[in-house]
């Protein structure tokens, strides 16, 4: 049985920082892609950032230069460092793991950017 557990969300003021973590445990194959998505009320879920097993990264345009994704393959963990947060970053953030024939989602963690 695979468990995917996220942590690190919360309330932060504009300009602040948060670090999200997401770990997959259990009997799991090597993950090809690890990613973070977010969904704001009334919006579709969107890709925020992704990282391949080789370390190639991709970022959604609005977070480039502010967010950084990283992964620890040995721990099956993905991180999202979020700096210079803006109110429009407010959303539920979901981690996502893609392997050969498998797809896992985290339960979601709320990030609220407000003064």
Q: Which pLDDT belongs to residue 64?
A: 98
Q: Which pLDDT belongs to residue 50?
A: 98
Write out the E strands in the chain.
3-7, 10-12, 18-25, 31-39, 46-52, 57-59, 67-72, 77-82, 91-99, 102-105, 109-113
Q: Which residues of the chain have pLDDT under 70?
A: none
Q: Which pLDDT belongs to residue 90?
A: 98
């Amino acid at each position: 049985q695979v468990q995917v557990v996220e942590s690190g969300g919360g309330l932060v003021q504009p300009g602040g920082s948060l670090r999200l973590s997401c770990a997959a445990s259990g009997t799991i194959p090597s993950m090809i892609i690890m990613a973070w998505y977010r969904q704001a009320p009334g919006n579709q879920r969107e890709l925020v950032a992704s990282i391949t097993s080789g370390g190639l990264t991709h970022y959604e345009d609005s977070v480039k230069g502010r967010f950084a994704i990283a992964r620890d393959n040995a721990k099956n963990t993905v991180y999202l460092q979020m700096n210079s947060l803006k109110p429009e970053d407010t959303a539920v953030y979901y981690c996502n793991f893609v392997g050969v024939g498998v797809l896992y989602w985290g339960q979601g963690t709320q990030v609220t950017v407000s003064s």
